[in-house]
Amino acid sequence: MSTFEERARAGAGRIAWAGRGMPVLRGISARLAESGALKGHRIGVGLVLEPKTANLALALRDAGAEVSVYCSGRSTDQETADALTAEGLAVFAEEGVGDERDLELAREYLGTAPDIILDDGASIIRLAHREFPALVGSLLGAAEETTSGVRPLRAMHDDGALRIPVVAVNDAKTKYLFDNVYGTGQSCVMTLLDVTNLQIAGRTVVVVGYGWVGKGVALHAAALGARVVVTELDPIKALQALHDGYRVMSLADAAPTAEVVFAATGIAGAVTAAHVDQMPDGVILCTAGGGAFELPMPELDALGTADSVRAGVTQYTRADGTTVLVISEGDCLNCTDGEGNPIEVMDLSLSLQALAAELIATTAKDWGVGVHPLPEALEQAVAIARLAHEGASLEPMTDDLAAAMRSW
């Protein structure tokens, strides 16, 4: 078994490799270090813990912040965690631990009294509101990374339960148009192939939900030869899927021919036990971008037949002898059994998180409670920085073009 030192050394190498592809974050970190905007702030990073997010944690540290890190055991890469510990960061994450230990670690993490929280799925923000009211009262604000986190935070605000300002990083165009579509779409499909060693070409792949993640999964599955079916509640999104070349039908209608099902809604109960009952022998279920709550895991577990047939693949046997295969125990497969989204894509998303931290540190005291957008100017700054790194150039705005755009 490898030692802490060996894991930390291996993790440091992987963090450095990821850092090579993150020039925008490097530039922001250097600017923040020079400005001192984050100096003395306690920032809690609660994102999926792997080499790319480690670069964010280190960038914030290098900019003068005191950084602590939390992640659930299902989404923690131990080499990365040990590398950050060796760098002197407070890390509250242990690969492979269960829910009870995760909760202990989350409480210890909040015990560091961060004044800014960068969250993924809003789990830490919600825990703080439930159990750490004094901390919530001292928080400057938080930033949320995902669709599945922004949705409950807006519901909390509507119910009068949210007590802090939150930046919806997920809603920035330089996040969802790239991270969700190209990043999550690619990494979820590729992780499925890596975990199963199967071919997706020729298989009927049902994508449940045609938001940005669903679009990305459908795009990448189709590119590899899958027959894609989309299920969607929203008629406009369903029509988009149809125009993108996919079959569109209810999940009940799609279930009997489904060979692979990607839940991509971020909504609990999107795929029900009744749906799964209609699916064929050997159907593969997985979650893209959300969590096990999208799948009927309690009903599957109640069968009492769970059998680990391959690393990352659990087989459930139904009363009639047919089987259901679940990837990553229903958790977001690209985070649990993959290495997350591509480096270049995460350079954009994690740069937005760094800018959100700066925005909270410098201006959040003047905000009201609620879920706030990231200013468009910051989104554009990230896009321009990445374009410049790639040697691209923008069409210059001329007086004539500006006048034409204003004319009527």
Interatomic CA distance for residues 129 and 189, integer angstroms: 35
Show the tokens assigned to 66: 């005191």
Ordered strands of the 90-92 beta sheet: 90-92, 66-70, 42-46, 116-119, 141-144, 165-168, 370-372
The owner of tokens 């003047």 is 366
Which residue type, as a one-letter code, is found at position 106?
A
Cα torsion 99, 149, 356, 169: sign:
positive
Mean pLDDT by groups of 10 residues along the chain of 408 residues: 92 98 96 96 96 98 97 95 98 96 98 97 96 96 92 96 96 92 95 97 98 97 98 98 98 98 94 98 94 95 97 97 97 91 95 97 95 95 95 93 93
| CA nearest neighbour of 305 among 278, 275, 325 | 325
Distance separating alpha carbons of residues 6 and 149, to the nearest angstrom: 35
Strands (E), 33-178: 42-46, 66-70, 90-92, 116-119, 141-144, 165-168
What's residue 290's pLDDT? 83
Rounded Cα distance between 38 and 254, Å, is 50
Query: Which position has the token pair 């830490």?
Result: 124
According to the model, what pLDDT value does residue 148 have?
A: 85
Identify which of 220, 230, 328 has the alpha carbon closest to the alpha carbon of residue 270. 230
Domains, the chain: 4-175+341-389 (3.40.50.1480), 182-336 (3.40.50.720)
- Residue type at 306 in one-letter notation: A
Give the predicted TM-score (pTM) of the model: 0.89
